[in-house]
Amino acid sequence: MSVSIKHYAEYFALRVVAVIIRLLPRKTALNLGRGLGRLSIKFLPGRYRLAKENMSRALPELGSEEIENNVQKNFEHIGICGVEMLRLDMLKVGSDDIHRYFDLENTHFLREALALNKGVLLLTGHLGFWEAGHFVMSELDIPCSAVAKPLKNPLTDRYFEAIRTFFGTEILNSRKGARRILKSLREKRAVVVLLDQHISPPGSVATDFFGRKAYTTTSIANIAMKYQVPIVPVFFLRQADGRYKVWVEPMLTLPDDGEEAAVEKNTQLLTNIIEAAIRRDVTQWFWMHKRWRVKPDKIKDKE
């Protein structure tokens, strides 16, 4: 990919901001991120409207005032995430950081899954500070790979990849996802997959997600079924005190009966797990993206 003047300008601005944020005390930096997130509402009115629409339709039981308050908190959360990402490699493996900033629950489920010697698919989503997984998995001494979509700016992409790989994570290009996932699994690694993004068919099915249809990749269910790879859900939520709650759920093994209906059923099962995790704190999910793109006529055709 060619690098444009715009790419250089964006990258330079990012590096300047990163230097400032990394010099600040953590609490001050996170408060700055919260403020920047709140300020971004004025500069991203389209995203703000989209987030409000998405949350209103997903959570019809909430009133307009609560939706407004939640979406504002959501933008603040995204701002904090941006700051946290720029500081991620400041965490130190083997230090007291894991206890200072993280509450870990049920990590033994990960060990049990890895003991099967088939690798592990780590199911998660854009919830809380999911990027903290690079540090946590390294601290737990679990070899990890993560599927990621390259950023449009190659300079910025390389910068963030360096942060992600700082703790030993292997980054798998989502454009060649299936083959690289299988390679990592054969190496007995834990492969992180974020299942809550839109994936156009073929290769996806329309699942129910917060009461609406959304296309979800079937690759994870296919791999888990065909190769009998265990799936372990893991999520990272920020707490009010700035620490993180990390919880691991029991592994799933999906039987392989070779039927298309089973793939759809299992993809729906995984989607349900993501939704249940988001409902723990709806202000910490990425509501400002176009997750629901299934056209009504496609639903009727399926029926």
Q: Which domains does the chain possess?
A: 5-302 (3.40.1130)
Query: What pLDDT shows up at residue 80?
Result: 97
What is the model's pLDDT at position 302? Answer: 52
Give the pLDDT of residue 178.
Answer: 83
Supply the pLDDT for residue 255: 86
Query: Whole-model pTM?
Result: 0.94
Low pLDDT (below 50) residues in the chain: 303
Model pLDDT, residue 303: 47
**How much is the pLDDT for 258?**
66
In terms of Cα–Cα distance, which of 276, 269, 271, 258 is closest to 215? 271
pLDDT of residue 12: 97
